[in-house]
Amino acid sequence: MKHLLFIILALFSIKLSAQQKQFSKDDNGKFIYYQVVDSQLISKDTLLQRAKSFVNVAYKKSMIQESNTDSSVLAKGTMVIDKTILVAGHPSGEVSYSFVFEARNGKYRFWLTDMLYIPYQRDRYGNFVPTTKIGVPLERTPGKLGAGAWKDILNSAYNKIEKFGDEFKKYLATNRVEKTKKKAETISTKKW
């Protein structure tokens, strides 16, 4: 009976640990979030224009475009990682990353890499601010005391980046036309 209970407990713990998603590693051993998407209906130029719009319009507060070519967009950005305790939550830090987008006819790919974590702390006014300007790579292995907190940070970062990837794919799939600003009409009180 003890052995049966132990086997069931072991299988249950393996199943729980298998459900947590983790980052893949690239050739250099850095974490990477990489996706290749088929888009047969959208041309390369349209994809490139939408990707530039995503970086410069939709995420203009948290991303900065570094360069672009006729088939790629390179940007750097940050996202805030939240720490939730029961219902209340607060930011625990931010993750800075490099974003790369490349398009071809019929498909595109994008990835996020060079992820650095910068922890937050409260300042004297009650605001959460970065404790330092130097980030810690997400690939580092924590010590025994900080392993649980680091695992939570990795899970939160993966969930945020996965949500970011879904938003990016939806943005490229939809036909968004930039709204042109209408000129303000001058009202003349002399003609009526």
Q: Which domains does the chain have, with CATH numbers?
A: 22-173 (3.30.530.80)
State pLDDT tens for residues 116-162: 999 999 999 988 988 988 889 988 888 888 888 888 889 989 999 99
pTM of the model: 0.75
Over residues 157-177, mean pLDDT: 88
Q: Residue 18: what pLDDT?
A: 46
How far is residue 104 CA from its own chain's centroid?
Answer: 23
Over residues 83-92, mean pLDDT: 74
Per DSSP, 55 falls in state I
Q: Residue 85: what pLDDT?
A: 67
Q: Is the dihedral of CA 10, 15, 20, 21 positive or negative?
A: positive
Nearest to 54 by CA among 41, 43, 68: 68
Over residues 100-105, mean pLDDT: 92
Average confidence score pLDDT of the chain? 83
Across 27-41, 44-58, 102-116, 165-179, least confident range: 165-179
More confident call, 142 vs 182: 142
Nearest to 79 by CA among 53, 97, 99, 67: 97
**Distance, CA of 158 to CA of 95 (rounded, Å):** 10
Residue 152 corresponds to which amino acid? D
CA of 77: how far to CAs of 56, 61, 183, in Å?
11, 9, 33
**Block residue for tokens 């498909």:** 107
